[in-house]
Structure 1
Amino acid sequence: MEATQPTLTGSANRALIGATIGFFIGAGSVSLFGPTAHIFLKAMHLSPQQVGLLVAMPMLTGSLLRIPFGASVDRNGGRLPFLALLIASVIGIAGLYWMLLTLYPNHLTAKYYPMLLIFGALAGCGIATFSVGIGQVSYWYSKKKQGLALAVFGGLGDSSPGFVVLILPAVIMTVGLWGGYLFSLAIIIFGIIIYYLMGLNAPYYQFYKRNKDAARATEEAKKYGQELFPTGGTWHTLLLSAKHWRTWPLVILYFTNFGGFLALTAWLPIFWQTYFHVGAFHSVVLTAVFSLIAAFIRVYGGKLSDEMGGEKTAVISLVVLLVGSVIMTFSSLLWLTIIGEILVGAGMGVNNAAVFKLVPHYVPDAVGGTAGWVGGLGCLGGFAIPPILGDIVALVGINGYALGFGIYILLSILCLLLVWLLYRTRDNLTVHLSR
């Protein structure tokens, strides 16, 4: 008599939808302060450096937590850490709502700035759901279907900051500043409910939870088409990849392009309003255009990398980024600077896809660990760059808002040199891996 097939809860597509919605909601914290920074600046009399740190704070926790939480997926399947990160984000946004409800506008002074940073850091935990979702989705899908599934997860999730930067100011204009953050709180709670219902662990983790037998859980999961299984070597591959010098140029590439994308999504509303005196609504529209272009073109960047190779795609996208950065640094014309912004967004989006095309080629014996370092430390650009932009404004004055984009000129040139270095040493990979 044939053995009864174990019962599975959920499906791959259901899990993908749940994880994508969860990441989309969590990633919205990238734009938590960008559209409202000018309000905090005036109410609390903040310096440019303090504003830069404020808009970057959610990216700090969102970046650093990607590495340990991403590594934990092999052990627990992803559902628990995903929920924990979203709940931490809820606590942060609830704290911001409480602050604004009780203190704004008359009592929100500079002495509450540290508290604002703490709640911003908590809210940023949702950004770290990216690394958890990548692992969770990968376990659900066969190797042939993982590429498309991960492109949907990453591309749609990354579009969240663009929508937030567009919608949040409109809500604030309608119901007030505290009402805007109450709206954000309601949205993320809704996202948690959706993820809780749909973001289920892959078959192996469901069966292992029932019988605590890894071999049996593996055999049962294979009946449902699961091909990827945990090896228990996550921390080992992190250490192994850290010893590969090629890991670190890839980190710098992602720091420049994805970290730079996060930084500009938070900084651009301030730039447009202060330097060009664009109205609040139009400034967030321009920022949304940048953010959405960078997010959606990433899918095309993946296709281009498959056709042309990661190196050629990276070089082309970095040249586009360089040209856009030069325009934004030296242009005093609004229409020309908008063109520069579009070029910067397109270059960053395509390069983000190219980087992960290069990871398995240059560090094939530690792909997971390398992806963890690249995804985690690379995101720190979103935290590190805004305070530097604020320092330049404090040092130079109003013209510093434009001259600050010189950072991206330097970074794009550095990245072009690093891609050239990687390409020149690719023939040594066989020798390196055989040691």
Structure 2
Amino acid sequence: MMKKIQLPLQTLNLVVGFMVWVLISSLVPFMTEDIHIPAESIAILTAIPVILGSILRIPLGYFTNLYGARIVFITSFILLLFPVFYISEASSFVDLMIGGLFLGIGGAVFSVGVTSLPKYYPKEKQGFVNGLYGVGNIGTAVTTFSAPVVATQIGWSLTVKVYLILLLIFIALNIFLGDRKEEKMKTPIMEQIKSVYKNEKLWLFSLFYFITFGSFVAFTVYLPNFLVSNFELARVDAGLRTAGFIAVATFIRPLGGWLGDRFKPMYLLTGVFTIYTIAAILLAFSPSIGLYTIGSIAIAVSAGIGNGVLFKLVPMYFQNQAGIVNGIVSMMGGLGGFFPPLILSIVHSITGHYAIGFMLLSQMALASLVLVVWMYYHDRLKISNDVFKSTGQGIMVTHPNGKIIAVNPAFTTLTGYNEGEIIGKTPSVLKSGKQSPSFYQKMWKEMKEQGQWQGEIWNKRKNGELYLEWLNISTVKDEAGDPIRYVASFSDITEHKKDSKVSQS
């Protein structure tokens, strides 16, 4: 029973953490009525919580493995009480900056669940489970929509204080319902980092999440003020539209995880970044509110699917280091939400519009699309190479002119010739002298007619020992049907043949 309740409990914890995380960006239109906030500093103020919310994801993922999700959630919510109260009493821009920085703890709790929950489920369900947990992102929509509505009734200061009650409730829930017996891992953090930091997939996943989750966060913190200033919408209307964006991206996320469990994740990411590229180009043309909505919803859908798929990929490639990798990848996603608002603000101050900023997003998405395709084919080549090296059969690849261009380790084991000794030579070095010239003429005639040959043949090892092998030769042809290489695979059947003769006698 305790294990079954962890998914809903931790998902609700994430809802609360994200509700607190976007407090300032949701209420900044109200705060500007009481506190002087320079117009050029609003983007910085709304992005500040993202900094700590990103950086802390690595240690929180590590501490989750060390102490369990229960302790980390309780500690995080206790720490959040202080900045929330401080912001409710803020009277200056500096107060909001300081309080906003520590609100980042609310965003950092994301790495707790993605590290803890896979311990309770088999691998074939982890994509969907992490996708369901990711629904906790809806906390940003809850605050973005509800905080302005409440603030119009009781003021922004009291609205912020309401969150203190919410935090206290969830501190109590985690004390009583959190799993005290969660599986712990005590590998030192630096040892875990050293084991993964040279793996290019870690940084590719980080880049992909930088864009998918980063754009989700960036649109979440930037849309409320952007819609008010650029389209002159009412503050509540802007909050409602932003909440719609968040809801779409959030509820699509489990679908992304579910699709990742059932289809090739790389195919899905190809579609995600294709949509991103097109949608960002649309937004770059500063369209009307209707087209802007379409572009934003397209990004919301692709962000949701991409976020779900990526946390299916992490445990696939990093089984023993999922905690630290989740922390690094999610940190990069959080930082992805920090930079776009600043870039858009700088671009707007220089050019007077946002076109170049959105074009930069489209180019990053296009670059990611290229990298996904490269990664897919790189993986396929790696699988082929692994098969080539690990198979027990000897394999020899020759050029059409007969020169050997590749052999596998099993070839060396069976013949005694290592790669350096055999590359550039012809297979004639293996000839035993037991086959007549007519045997080889018949073999190559069959090769030309049928494209392959198989049968028994005597060959000679490097040490002069003769052995009988079962040989398969296949022709690899180009699009025009001309041979471009020959692939031979063989196995030693000498002992098998002896045993067969003994049993027959």
TM-score range, shorter-chain basis?
Answer: 0.7 to 0.9
Aligned to 2:210: 255
Aligned to 1:221: none
What's the CA shift for 1:124?
Answer: 1.8
| 1:166 aligns to 2:121 (yes or no) | no
Match for residue 64 of structure 2 among 60, 73, 79: 73
Aligned to 1:5: none
| 1:32 aligns to 2:11 (yes or no) | no
Question: Are 2:128 and 2:257, in contact at CA under 8 Å, matched by a contact in 1?
Answer: no
What's the CA shift for 1:369?
Answer: 3.4
Alignment of 1:67-146 (within 5 A): 67-99=58-90, 103=91, 112-141=92-121, 143=123, 146=126
Aligned to 1:290: 245
Question: Are 2:58 and 2:324, in contact at CA under 8 Å, matched by a contact in 1?
Answer: no
Cα deviation code 1:23-48 (max 9, x no counterpart): 21011134222222234446544344
Which letter maps to 2:75? Answer: A
Question: Are 1:324 and 1:343, in contact at CA under 8 Å, matched by a contact in 2?
Answer: yes
What's the CA shift for 1:424?
Answer: 2.7
Question: Are 1:330 and 1:403, in contact at CA under 8 Å, matched by a contact in 2?
Answer: no
Of 238-247 and 62-71, more deviation after overlay is shown by 238-247
Looking at structure 2, the residues matched to 314 and 266 of structure 1 have their Cα atoms a distance apart, in angstroms, of 25
Aligned to 2:157: 178
What's the CA shift for 1:142?
Answer: 5.1
CA distance 1:375–1:307, change in 2 (3 Å): same
Aligned to 1:410: 363
What's the CA shift for 1:90?
Answer: 1.6
Question: Are 2:145 and 2:240, in contact at CA under 8 Å, matched by a contact in 1?
Answer: yes
Which letter maps to 2:71? Answer: L
Which letter maps to 1:114? Answer: V
Looking at structure 1, the residues matched to 381 and 328 of structure 2 have their Cα atoms a distance apart, in angstroms, of 22
What's the CA shift for 1:388?
Answer: 1.5
Aligned to 1:23: 14
What is the TM-score normalised by the length of structure 2?
Answer: 0.71
Which letter maps to 1:194? Answer: L
Of 341-350 and 362-371, more deviation after overlay is shown by 362-371
Which letter maps to 1:424? Answer: Y
Aligned to 2:178: 199
| 1:387 aligns to 2:342 (yes or no) | yes
Which letter maps to 2:168? Answer: I
CA distance 1:231–1:183, change in 2 (3 Å): closer
Asked which structure has the greater RCO (Cα within 8 Å, sep 6+), the reply is: 1
Match for residue 320 of structure 1 among 275, 299, 320: 275
Aligned to 2:290: 335
Question: Are 1:52 and 1:386, in contact at CA under 8 Å, matched by a contact in 2?
Answer: yes
Cα deviation code 1:4-62 (max 9, x no counterpart): xxxxxx61122333222222101113422222223444654434442111111111111
For structure 2, list consecutive stretches of 5 or more residues without a partner in the other structure.
391-505
Question: Are 2:280 and 2:359, in contact at CA under 8 Å, matched by a contact in 1?
Answer: yes
Question: Are 1:254 and 1:374, in contact at CA under 8 Å, matched by a contact in 2?
Answer: yes
Aligned to 2:327: 372
What is the TM-score normalised by the length of structure 1?
Answer: 0.82
Cα deviation code 1:179-205 (max 9, x no counterpart): 22122222222222222222223355x
What's the CA shift for 1:253?
Answer: 0.5
Looking at structure 1, the residues matched to 379 and 7 of structure 2 have their Cα atoms a distance apart, in angstroms, of 35
* RMSD of equivalent CA atoms: 2.5
Looking at structure 2, the residues matched to 411 and 43 of structure 1 have their Cα atoms a distance apart, in angstroms, of 39
3-state SS in 2 of match to 1:243: coil
CA distance 1:236–1:262, change in 2 (3 Å): same
CA distance 1:332–1:75, change in 2 (3 Å): closer
Cα deviation code 1:44-86 (max 9, x no counterpart): 4434442111111111111111101111122212322221211
Aligned to 1:150: 130
Cα deviation code 1:281-336 (max 9, x no counterpart): 11111101111100110111122223331111111111222222122221431111
| 1:275 aligns to 2:275 (yes or no) | no
Which letter maps to 1:75? Answer: L
What's the CA shift for 1:343?
Answer: 0.6
Which letter maps to 1:171? Answer: V
Looking at structure 1, the residues matched to 254 and 144 of structure 2 have their Cα atoms a distance apart, in angstroms, of 21
Which letter maps to 1:53? Answer: I
CA distance 1:316–1:203, change in 2 (3 Å): closer
What's the CA shift for 1:349?
Answer: 0.8
Looking at structure 1, the residues matched to 113 and 321 of structure 2 have their Cα atoms a distance apart, in angstroms, of 19
What's the CA shift for 1:154?
Answer: 2.0
Question: Are 1:318 and 1:348, in contact at CA under 8 Å, matched by a contact in 2?
Answer: no
Aligned to 2:46: 55
What's the CA shift for 1:139?
Answer: 3.2
What's the CA shift for 1:89?
Answer: 1.5
